Amino acid sequence: MMQWIAMITMLIDHIGAVFFPHIIELRIIGRIAFPIYAFAVYIGYKHTRDVQKYIWRLFWIAIISQVPFMAAFNHYSLNVVWTLWSALLVLFVIDKLPSKLLGIPIVIGAGWFMEISQMDYGMYGLLLVLLFRYFQGPVLVVAHVLLNALYLLLHNSSVQMYSVLATAGIAIAQYYQAGFRMKGPRWVWRYFYPAHLAIIAIIRWV
């Protein structure tokens, strides 16, 4: 269920961004998607049997999504899968370090690179994945609110505050020990992002 909510709200968001930018409600609905994807990356990392295979799979999805992303939105930044892939790498590296304190410069360096390379969401995306790694319940929600407040100060994006609704839903689901296993065809979850961007790009340019 969680995966379908993420895909549908992302589709609504992108349709709004490309075809109806004046309808802010579409962008508000779209804020639900990214926290779910960020959480899914952490859950995938936590439960995967082969983390290196998982890293490569996300890498190739980022590659094949890049041209549809640029064509759909008509700009040259890096798509959000690069952000999730970078966060996954950071999780992997941190767990290999002899001390967790050594992870601090890793996070700062990775976040800086994500910002200068213009990855979608940038360091915000990395920090959100890390919040799901280290916090649960009310603490998780409060931490996300604080992260969004920082994002608001840096990017002047009040709409992003609505993304906390998704995190609150995840926190509630964790409290009731809901399962987060993928239901339905995995290829839909993996390739919906580049596929829907390609369709949007075709409609936009035709």
Rounded CA gap, 184 and 171, in Å? 23
How far, in Å, CA of 182 to CA of 123, rounded? 27
Give the pLDDT mean for 45-64: 95
Type of residue at 15: I
Q: Read off the tokens for 22.
A: 């004046």
Whether the per-residue pLDDT at 193 is higher than 90: the answer is yes
Residues 54 and 40: their CA atoms lie apart, in Å, by 12
Per-residue confidence (pLDDT) for residue 183, from 0 to 100: 64
Q: Report how many domains make up the chain.
A: 1
Looking at residue 135, its pLDDT comes to 96
Looking at residues 153-179, what average pLDDT do you find? 89
**CA distance linking residue 8 with residue 10, whole number of Å:** 5
* Tokens encoding 155: 């990017």
Which amino acid, one-letter code, is at 62?
A
3-state secondary structure of 23: coil
Other Cβ atoms less than 10 A from the Cβ of 103: the count is 18
* Host domain of residue 91: 2-205
Cα torsion at 120, 123, 191, 32 (round to 10°)? -80
pLDDT for position 180 = 63
